[in-house]
Amino acid sequence: MGEFILKRLLLCVLILFFVMFIVYALMFSLPTSYVDTMARELATKPGSLKSAQEWLDELNAAYGFDRGIVGGYFTWLSTVLTGDFGDSWYYTLPVVEKFNDVIWFSVAMSLAAFVFETVIAVYLGVTAARKQYSMTDYTVTVVALLCISMPTFFLATLLKLIFSIKLGWFDLVGMQSRDYMLLSDFGKFLDLCHHMVLPVITLTMVGIGGLMRYTRTNMLEVLNSDYIRTARAKGLSEKVVINRHAFRNTLIPLITVTGTTLPALFSGALITETLFGIRGIGYTSYYAMINGDIPFTMFYLAFISILTLLANLLADVLYAVVDPRVRVH
């Protein structure tokens, strides 16, 4: 097992290297970057002895942009390997500092959505499987498919229309009320929670469908197995059959699946955060990306890629732990 994980980790490093190269190549080819703007700004500062072109050359040299895509990539890589991700151009803060400022909003939001999503999806999935081909089953299936099919932006806009504009229960965008500064610490926390309600609902609704269907399929599989029939034959009550025998066995694949989504809690919700103005990592990186902020984007994409690789690795390990047959291969 240890050797397997080590091998996979080395592979992950290799994959990451190439993924980041592709991303760097793309960022490199952005024609208008912040470097131009910075050079112009520096040149117009009082006391500047160099022209904009000289500043540009100097900055390009500092960031390794004068050495082509490959050279530039290795320049970036060598600074990153020393633990220095540089300063964000758009936010004019060290990348890691900005990241620390915003990541926890995303995590809190994703975690809340994850909890609601899991609880509701598992409950509905089990209910649907117990009453296969019933009205409940069809309703749950249709709702699940609707949630999967709903584009996040449309759902978010609909929620805003209903809850923010028509009912006026929540603010349209942002994460603080006007009187935020006057509130006590607990009041500030409640205010923040209040602003997180709509984004969390959006995230929950978007994510609920897949898990619900997965639960239903697995529950059906378990319910049709021989040991359930045996349990029923031996006269156990339906409650015991479902809760003790069927549900516990369904939990095994569910835990592996939800386990693999754990790293994604850190990746932020780009669309949802942007639409609701939640200054999490998704929102921050969206504006960094569209403004050509290479240091921040590279950091964020490296982070996301690591999370994806981690999720894959976790999935493999969890499968191996749960199902000993996998370990053989």
Partner 1 sequence: MSKNNGRRADSLNEALKRREAAQEQHVHNEGEPLALDDSERVKVLSPGRLVAKRFFRNKLAIVGLAILIFMFVFTFLFPLFYPYSQTQIFYKYGTMNTNYASATERTDFVSYALGEAVNVPSTVKNSINSYIIQMQDGGLDELQVTDAEGTMYTVNRLADTIYTLSADDLTGVAVYSASSVVAEYDSIHESFVYTVEEETIVPDDLDDEPEPADEAEEAGEGEAEAEDESAQAAAEQAAFEAAAAEAVAAGQDSFTSGGMSYSVNMVIKNRYEITRESSALIGLGDFEPEAGMAAAVEAAIAAGSANISWEGTPYRIAENNGTYFLCTIGEPTEALVASTLVFNSYDTSVQFDDGFKAEALLSAGSDGRFEHDGQSYSLDFDGETGAIFDASHNEIASLSTFVVRRYSGQDTLSIDFKDATQEVIEAMEEAGETKGSFVFPIQQTDDESNPVYDEEGNPVLVDTEITVERKTNEYVLSCDQTTYLIDIYAGPSAEHWFGTDGDGMDILARMMYGGRISLMIGFVVVILETIIGVIMGGMAGFFGRWVDTLIMRLVDIFYCIPTYPILIIMGALFDALKMDPYVRLVWMMVALGVLGWAGIARLVRGQILSLREQEFMIAQEATGMRSSRRIFRHLVPNVMPQLIVNATMSLGSIIITEATLSFLGLGVKHPLATWGNMINSVTGSSESMLKYTYIWVPVGLLICLTVVAFNFVGDGLRDAFDPKMKQ
Residues that bind partner 1 (CB under 8 A): 11, 14-16, 18-19, 22-23, 26-27, 29-32, 132, 138, 141-142, 145-146, 148-154, 157-158, 160-161, 164-166, 172, 217, 220, 224, 270-271, 274, 285-286, 289-292, 297, 300-301, 304-305, 308-309, 312
Nearest residue (CB) to partner 1, 79 versus 308: 308
Q: How far is the CB of 175 from partner 1 (least distance, A)?
A: 17
Q: Which is nearer to partner 1, 11 or 61 (CB)?
A: 11
Q: Which residues contact 195 (CB under 8 A, 6 or more apart)?
A: 170, 171, 174, 175, 176, 177, 276, 278
The SS3 of residue 172 is coil
Closest distance of CB 213 from partner 1, Å: 9
Q: How far is the CB of 260 from partner 1 (least distance, A)?
A: 13
Minimum Å gap between C-beta 290 and partner 1 is 5
Residue 20 C-beta: closest distance to partner 1, Å: 10
3-state secondary structure of 224: coil
Q: Is 276 exposed, middle or buried (0-12, 13-18, 19+ CB in 10 A)?
A: buried
Residue whose tokens read 């809850």: 163
Helix, strand or coil for residue 237?
coil
Strand partners, 87: 94
> Which lies closer to partner 1 via its Cβ, residue 132 or residue 176?
132
Closest to partner 1 by CB, 132 or 249: 132
User: Amino acid letter at 149?
Assistant: S
Distances 229 to 16, 82, 127, 154, 155 between C-alpha atoms, Å: 48, 60, 18, 45, 42
Question: Residue 45 or 178: which CB sits closer to partner 1?
Answer: 178
d(CA 220, CA 209): 17
- Closer CB to partner 1, 123 or 153, in the complex: 153
Least distance from partner 1 to the Cβ atom of residue 3, Å: 18
Which of 204, 305 has the CB closer to partner 1? 305
Give the span between the Cα atoms of 283 and 175, in whole angstroms.
Answer: 12
> How near is the Cβ of 151 to partner 1 at its closest, in Å?
5
Per DSSP, the chain holds a count of helices (H) and strands (E) of 15, 0
* Amino acid symbol at 75: T
